[in-house]
Chain A
Amino acid sequence: MKRSSGFLAWFMDPKRRGPMLIAPAIIVLLLVNIIPLMWSFGLSFFKYRANTLKLPNFSWFYSYEKVLTKDNIWESLQTTAIIVAGSVGMQMILGFLLALLFASQFPLRKILLMFVLAPMMLSNVAVAIYFKLFYEPEFGLLSQFVQSFITGEMYVLLSTPAGALIGVIFADAWQWTPFVMLLVLAGLVSVPKHLYEAAEIDRMSWWRKFTTITFPYVRSLLLLAVLFRTIETVKIFDLVFILTNGGPGTATETIGVLVYRTAFQFFRTSNSAAMGYILLFAVIVLTSLYLYVIKQRESEEI
């Protein structure tokens, strides 16, 4: 490449190629994400209520102490964990199976795939409102189905803690399984075809082809799917808020709902910020562990 002088040369220096490629992304994230993040992190050390005119009052770890001892944060962390485990697990299994179904060529594949992708395109609010209707004891499809084919009585799913959890998990998994499916499918179609042809010549069994060719190609995308769905599901809010409103009692009160209530119903702004950071801390620890384990296993394989 021709060497230009001065400022431009500084930019074009091959040594700076990496930083230069990354810079735009870092600038946008710094402006819109990281600075506000720091701001609210600062706020969590003050005593502050958004609905009063009182100035924020510096109080060290008061909010954290309060949140960890008084509010039912432990219970809601547990609830969130159950929902995440149930929903993400279901999404992975169903998503992988659906992707395998759609990975082969068959007539009408493109159109049928669109039907399966449709749930993901609905908004959370729409899914929540309609699943509430489906679970409804009088008009709901579920109740009517149970009534006419199984027990002959109205069926109320959301009235028991376990039922409410199942209801939430089912709706969330239904909506987001296509996401996992699409990621896995993108991995499946990127497997070079000559590998399968070679396997065909070697007369490999179906299972061996799957474990030695298909799975290694899909694995990194599957792990990414677990990561992203976990991060998103931990924050679950709209669906739970509309479907069960955290009930019955506090059986489905996820951390997202608890934060919302603390911030906008009780106006404990700094407490809600503290909760958010406790959650962030928990997620960071879990994610680093997860990434660490993956790294370990990858280096073992090489």
Chain B
Amino acid sequence: MKKKAIGQSGWLWTALASVVAFIYFFPVLFIILTAFRSRSDTLATPPKWIFSPTFENFYHIFFRSMANSTEYVATGFHVYFFNSIYISGMSVLLALLIGTLAAYGFSRHPLRGNDTYLFIILTTRMLPPIIVIVPIFLIFRITGLAGTYTGIILMYTAFNLPFSIWMMKSFFDELNTEIEDASRMDGASERSVFFGVCIPQVKAGLAATSVFALILTWNEFLFSLLLTNKLTRTMPPAMARTIGGEINVDYGLLAAMICLFIIPIFLITYLLQNQLLRGVTFGTIKK
């Protein structure tokens, strides 16, 4: 028998959700349509909803014509694309690994002054990044980390840690410790209690945390702008450079970039959705 989640609703619910989703998605839809519009259609008033789609904006991301020639030159955008995937992926994995361990520590083996540690960890996220960027920039220059993958991955790992720790701790806190104690009684080692009992119960939390961390890292602009070089630059600063000033924004080109930019994150979120929505079947109440 199929179990009810909260309520098993039918197509009527789908219709309602579709309307809501469409309204919510509308600005994004506009951006996607703009990516396929030709230059002359981009700013038409009223907006053209029906038009013949072109791929010229996508082509121009990778190949641009030089100032006064008709020759097209590669822009190197694929390198930035790869960098974004590599740097975001590595730093999110690291933050999740270190963060989950720490969260488990904070939740199950509290130290003296546990809350103070947690609070200090949180305060590192409170300062405007503009303030800390100057010393970080200097430290990275001295240690030779500036412009390297290691440097920016380290930076983003630290950037994601506070959130990962707090998120995972709140999930660990919700678990029932009786199951853990029972498996300890049965002779399970600490390691298998952690991996075998706790981790499966916080899968939804891991999925949610990694999606958020990934999205924040993927979109991060300032650190990447200042701490990477031509070879390690990620997409957000590369996009900003291509677009140039704010005055004459090439909306079509920007829209095409946004489309490319959103695809990897969209796919990963879609794949993690199962974990996110399945929920915990054997979790029991704590209190």
A residues touching B (Cβ–Cβ < 8 Å)? Answer: 1, 17-22, 24-26, 28-29, 31-37, 39-40, 43, 50, 98, 101-110, 112-126, 129-131, 133-134, 138-139, 141, 144, 148, 174, 179, 182-183, 185-186, 188-193, 195-197, 214, 217, 220-221, 224, 227-228, 231, 234-235, 237-238, 242, 255-256, 259-260, 263-264, 269, 272-273, 276-277, 279-280, 283-284, 287-288, 291, 302
Q: Which residues of B contact A121 (CB under 8 A)?
A: 215, 218-219, 262, 265-266, 269
- C-alpha gap A276/B123 in the complex (Å): 12
Majority SS at the chain B contact face: helix
Output the nearest chain B residue to A124 by Cβ-Cβ distance.
Answer: B219
Majority SS at the chain A contact face: helix
Question: Is B136's CB under 8 angstroms from A36's CB?
Answer: yes
- 8 Å CB contact of B212 from A20, A179, A234: A179
Contacts A/B (CB < 8 Å), 7 sampled: A25-B165, A106-B17, A190-B205, A191-B279, A196-B4, A228-B163, A256-B130
Question: Is A104's CB under 8 angstroms from B104's CB?
Answer: no
**B30 interface hit (Cβ, 8 Å):** yes
Question: Is A40's CB under 8 angstroms from B134's CB?
Answer: yes
- C-alpha gap A190/B170 in the complex (Å): 12
| B167 CB to nearest A CB, Å | 7
- C-alpha gap A107/B14 in the complex (Å): 6
**B82 interface hit (Cβ, 8 Å):** no
**B51 interface hit (Cβ, 8 Å):** no
- C-alpha gap A228/B276 in the complex (Å): 20
Question: Is B279's CB under 8 angstroms from A189's CB?
Answer: yes
Question: Is A284's CB under 8 angstroms from B126's CB?
Answer: yes
| B159 CB to nearest A CB, Å | 8
- Please encode chain B, from 212 to 250, with 1 for each CB lying within 8 Å of some chain A CB and 0 for all others: 100100110100000000000000100110010010010
Q: Contacts A189-B277, A255-B128, A259-B128 given: A141-B47 contact, CB under 8 Å?
A: yes
- Please encode chain B, from 253 to 287, with 1 for each CB lying within 8 Å of some chain A CB and 0 for all others: 01000100110011001100100111111011101
Q: Contacts A183-B208, A193-B4 given: A22-B277 contact, CB under 8 Å?
A: no
Question: Is A242's CB under 8 angstroms from B246's CB?
Answer: yes
- 8 Å CB contact of A101 from B20, B27, B46, B219: B20
Question: Is B31's CB under 8 angstroms from A130's CB?
Answer: yes
- 8 Å CB contact of A185 from B31, B170, B276: B276
**B166 interface hit (Cβ, 8 Å):** yes
Q: Which stretch from B58-66, B70-78, B105-113 is at the chain A interface?
A: B105-113
| A213 CB to nearest B CB, Å | 9
**B173 interface hit (Cβ, 8 Å):** yes
- C-alpha gap A122/B239 in the complex (Å): 12
**B8 interface hit (Cβ, 8 Å):** yes
| A1 CB to nearest B CB, Å | 7
Q: Which residues of A contact B10 (CB under 8 A)?
A: 106-107
| A161 CB to nearest B CB, Å | 21
Question: Is A192's CB under 8 angstroms from B280's CB?
Answer: yes
- 8 Å CB contact of B128 from A107, A141, A185, A256: A256
**B161 interface hit (Cβ, 8 Å):** yes
Question: Is B132's CB under 8 angstroms from A36's CB?
Answer: yes
**B185 interface hit (Cβ, 8 Å):** no
20 additional A-B residue pairs with CB within 8 Å, beyond A144-B46, A192-B285, A263-B131: A17-B109, A39-B139, A40-B131, A40-B132, A103-B5, A104-B9, A106-B8, A106-B17, A109-B277, A121-B262, A122-B31, A122-B219, A126-B261, A174-B24, A183-B208, A224-B167, A259-B128, A272-B131, A287-B126, A302-B287
Q: Contacts A22-B105, A125-B239 given: A119-B128 contact, CB under 8 Å?
A: no
Question: Is A21's CB under 8 angstroms from B27's CB?
Answer: no
Q: Which residues of B contact A224 (CB under 8 A)?
A: 166-167, 170
Q: Which residues of A contact B161 (CB under 8 A)?
A: 25, 28-29
Question: Is B3's CB under 8 angstroms from A193's CB?
Answer: yes
- Please encode chain B, from 109 to 137, with 1 for each CB lying within 8 Å of some chain A CB and 0 for all others: 11100010101111111111111101110
- C-alpha gap A227/B119 in the complex (Å): 12
**B146 interface hit (Cβ, 8 Å):** no
- C-alpha gap A36/B155 in the complex (Å): 12
- 8 Å CB contact of B20 from A28, A116, A259: A116
Q: Which residues of A contact B155 (CB under 8 A)?
A: 32
Question: Is A40's CB under 8 angstroms from B110's CB?
Answer: no
**B154 interface hit (Cβ, 8 Å):** yes
Question: Is A32's CB under 8 angstroms from B136's CB?
Answer: yes
Question: Is B17's CB under 8 angstroms from A118's CB?
Answer: no
Question: Is B154's CB under 8 angstroms from A106's CB?
Answer: no
Q: Which residues of A contact B98 (CB under 8 A)?
A: 24-25, 28
Q: Which residues of B contact A113 (CB under 8 A)?
A: 21, 273, 277
Question: Is B262's CB under 8 angstroms from A104's CB?
Answer: no
Q: Which 4 A-B pairs have the closest CB atoms?
A: A21-B105, A18-B109, A189-B279, A276-B131
**B41 interface hit (Cβ, 8 Å):** no
Question: Is B101's CB under 8 angstroms from A21's CB?
Answer: yes
Question: Is A189's CB under 8 angstroms from B24's CB?
Answer: no
Highest count of chain B CB atoms <10 Å: which of A107, A116, A190? A190
Question: Is B109's CB under 8 angstroms from A21's CB?
Answer: yes
**B251 interface hit (Cβ, 8 Å):** yes
Question: Is A104's CB under 8 angstroms from B8's CB?
Answer: yes
B5-52 contacts to A (CB < 8 Å): 5-11, 13-14, 16-18, 20-22, 24-25, 27-28, 30-31, 43, 45-47
Question: Is B25's CB under 8 angstroms from A118's CB?
Answer: yes
